[in-house]
């Protein structure tokens, strides 16, 4: 008999740890007695807790909290009964001021350590830390509407969502009173600027177009862009422009003798942008980036001369620009780079600093997504 085969499975290891900081994914970070780093979801700075190992990685250990022995600083009671089970929020157990400072610190550390800059990150807290989300993605399952459980594809019946705007919560309530068809489908609910609710089911979701999730955050981005466009005189090139919602509702290029070109990969956004703002000075092109820009510069090396400002707001993965293309951006006077991901923003910021004469002049952490680990970055390179 090969007894080695019948070794008992070792019991999962348990540690008592004190949370030292909160990381980029909203998880508490601590050390074991032997100095190994452990990640503890939903744990807060100063908290002493007993945790059980769930997975050993090369440089850290993932755990789950078994019990809290001593409460941490700035702890508050989560508003949502589904908190920790639903995948949407990671920080409801933290006082809102502490959430903002934690996110500001995440960006500050990236700027100092990865970019080697001493610049202070400005924080813009959201005036409504609950009831702000005007777009949600849900799942209809067995006639009920809900979200997925955290890290799984398990359905979670949702009666209300405290981070969503009241219109969405009213819709969630109504959907219980009037049972929906039993067919399972993904659906998105969108509250438009006039307060009207629009729902998109299944493949219809492709017709939604882009809208920033938080109306306050969108307005704050517009304010900052407005300040930083001051003094520009030729034109604005906006990449990943959506339908131009950050610039064109308040800026009329024709009145200033400007030109504006918005590029986006989604036909719905491009069509909407053209319908809402198209004019002799304002145009939209459908193009997949970064290919569109690389091709444009290959065909027309002076293509960027018509613009003095570039506005960029890529999705989470960043721009994937190559150094050669980044060098071509050096003819621009300013680049306003908006991002929802500190990792890809840092990667792109590094490229801009290395390959152009532009310098980072302004940096804001805009808390577009309170109660979650996510935030928006506003940066100006000049
Ligand atoms: C974060 S949104 C920004 C939209 C716009 N700034 C706004 O606030 O309405 C990112 C946009 O990039 C577009 N997009 C994503 N990947 C793209 C790609 N590879 N090429 C071009 N556009 C892309 C999406 O359609 C979306 O409109």
Ligand 1 centre distance from Cα of residue 258 (Å): 23
Q: Is the pLDDT of residue 182 over 80?
A: no
> pLDDT tens for residues 22-43?
999 999 999 999 999 999 999 9
Ligand 1 site, residue 367, Cβ cutoff 6 A: no
Question: Is 212's C-beta closer than 6 angstroms to any atom of ligand 1?
Answer: yes
Integer angstrom CA distances of residue 89 from 151, 207, 217, 291: 12, 27, 18, 35
Which strand ranges, in their side-by-side order, compose the sheet holding 144-148? 155-157, 144-148, 135-141, 185-191, 197-201
Q: Residue 161 carries which DSSP code?
A: -
CA of 117 to the centre of ligand 1 (A): 28
* Residues 186-211 pLDDT 10s: 999 999 888 899 999 999 999 999 99
> 108-126: per-residue pLDDT in tens?
999 999 999 999 999 999 9
| Residue nearest ligand 1's atom 26 by CA | 242
> Residue 355 corresponds to which tokens in the numbers above?
């390959």
Q: What is the mean pLDDT of residues 284-304?
A: 95
Residue whose entry in the numeric block shows the structure tokens 């705007």: 165
Tokens of 145: 């509407």
Position 194 scores a pLDDT of 86
pLDDT at 153 over 80: no
Once rounded to an integer, what is the mean pLDDT over residues 56-79?
Answer: 94
pTM of the model as a whole = 0.94
- 376 ligand 1 Cβ < 6 A: no
Which residue among 240, 241, 250 has the greatest number of ligand 1 atoms within 8 angstroms of its CB, and so is best to mutate? 240
**DSSP SS3 for 144:** strand
Q: Does 266 contact ligand 1 (Cβ within 6 A)?
A: yes
Is the pLDDT score of 180 beyond 90?
no
Structure token pair of residue 320: 């994937």
Q: Tell me which of 210, 217, 292, 369 to substitute to probe ligand 1's pocket, judged by most ligand atoms within 8 Å of the beta carbon.
A: 210
């Amino acid at each position: 008999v090969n007894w080695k085969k019948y070794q008992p499975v070792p019991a999962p290891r348990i540690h008592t740890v004190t949370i030292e900081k909160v990381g980029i994914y909203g998880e508490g970070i601590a050390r074991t007695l032997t100095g190994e780093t452990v990640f503890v979801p939903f744990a807060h700075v100063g908290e002493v807790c007993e945790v059980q190992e769930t997975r050993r990685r090369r440089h850290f250990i993932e755990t789950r909290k078994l019990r809290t022995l001593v409460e941490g600083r700035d702890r508050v009671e989560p508003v949502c009964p589904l908190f920790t089970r639903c995948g949407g929020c990671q920080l409801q157990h933290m006082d809102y001021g502490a959430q903002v400072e934690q996110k500001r610190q995440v960006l500050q550390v990236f700027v100092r350590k990865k970019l080697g800059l001493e610049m202070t990150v400005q924080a813009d807290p959201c005036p409504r830390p609950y009831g702000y989300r005007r777009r949600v993605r849900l799942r209809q399952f067995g006639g009920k509407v809900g979200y997925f459980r955290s890290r799984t594809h398990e359905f979670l019946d949702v009666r209300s969502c405290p981070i969503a705007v009241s219109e969405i919560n009213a819709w969630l309530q109504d959907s219980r009173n009037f049972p929906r068809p039993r067919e399972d489908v993904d659906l998105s609910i969108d509250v438009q600027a006039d307060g009207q609710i629009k729902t998109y089911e299944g493949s219809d979701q492709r017709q939604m177009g882009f809208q920033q999730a938080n109306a306050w955050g969108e307005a704050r981005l517009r304010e900052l862009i407005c300040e930083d466009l001051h003094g520009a005189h030729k034109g604005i090139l906006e990449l990943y422009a959506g339908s131009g919602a950050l610039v064109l509702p308040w800026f009329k290029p024709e009145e200033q003798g400007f030109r504006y070109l918005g590029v986006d990969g989604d036909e719905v956004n491009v069509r909407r942008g053209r319908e809402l703002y198209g004019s002799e000075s304002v145009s939209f092109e459908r193009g997949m980036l970064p290919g569109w820009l690389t091709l444009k510069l290959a065909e027309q090396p002076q293509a960027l001369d018509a613009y003095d400002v570039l506005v960029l707001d890529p999705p989470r993965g960043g721009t994937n620009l190559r150094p050669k293309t980044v060098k071509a951006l050096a003819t621009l006077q300013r680049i306003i780079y908006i991002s929802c991901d500190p990792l890809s923003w840092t990667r792109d910021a590094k490229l801009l600093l290395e390959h152009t004469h532009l310098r980072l002049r302004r940096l804001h952490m805009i808390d577009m997504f309170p109660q979650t680990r996510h935030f928006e970055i506003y940066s100006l390179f000049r």
